[in-house]
Amino acid sequence: MIMPLAKANYILFFRINSPINYTYIKQILLTDHPHGMTKGNETVFYVTTWTLRSIFAFRYDGNNWSAFLFANILYTLPNTGSIDVSSCHLHIDHIGRRWIVLFNFCFIIYSQQGILLEKSLSWLFILYLISFMSLFI
């Protein structure tokens, strides 16, 4: 089991011994306030952060989990030039596209290969989160 702790800036790892028993294994410091998590597969997961809109990928090599910066997404507000530092979320759809939602402003879609497919502004509504449901895809 993996759990982000935003205020403490850590990702915690636990072994599941039974449905009601967990053993703490380790922690990894992540200084950008870990906010959300998305599973890529059994050996990769992504963590979005609250303050700097960074997305980190965690990869398991059979012995250890290691983290690397997957994306650092900043958005400049129109007419002001200021950088918005609200949260972002990452979702992976059924064909592997990475959907990045930047709170209040837009969503960005990348292919599995990292090719930008779409960047869409959402000035008419506040965008916070998306969810894919198998009956509607």
Question: pLDDT digit string (tens) for 8-35?
Answer: 888 999 999 999 999 999 999 887 788 8
Q: 63 near 25, Cβ under 8 Å? A: no
Answer whether residue 13 is part of any domain: no
pLDDT, tens only, 109-124: 888 777 888 877 655 5
pTM of the predicted model as reported, rounded to 2 decimal places: 0.75
Q: Residue 62: inside a domain, yes or no?
A: yes
Residue 21 lies in a domain: no
Instruction: Please report whether residue 58 resides in a domain.
Output: yes
Phi, psi torsion values for 61, nearest 5 degrees: -100, 10
Neighbours of 132 (CB within 10 A): 11
pLDDT at 21: 95
Structural domain contains residue 121: yes
Percent over 70 (pLDDT), the chain: 73
What is the number of structural domains in the chain? 1
Residue 42 covered by a domain: yes
Q: Is residue 112 part of a domain?
A: yes
Residue 120 falls inside a structural domain: yes
What residues make up the domain containing 76? Answer: 33-136
Domain at 130, CATH number: 2.40.10
Residue 50 reports pLDDT greater than 80:
no
User: Would you state the pLDDT for residue 89?
Assistant: 79
With CA atoms as reference, report the closest residue to 11 among 45, 42, 40.
Answer: 45
Q: Residue 126's pLDDT band (boundaries 50, 70, 90)?
A: low
So what's the pLDDT on residue 123? 54
Query: Residue 97 and residue 71: Cα distance in Å, rounded?
Result: 14
Q: Closest Cα to residue 39, out of 86, 111, 96?
A: 96
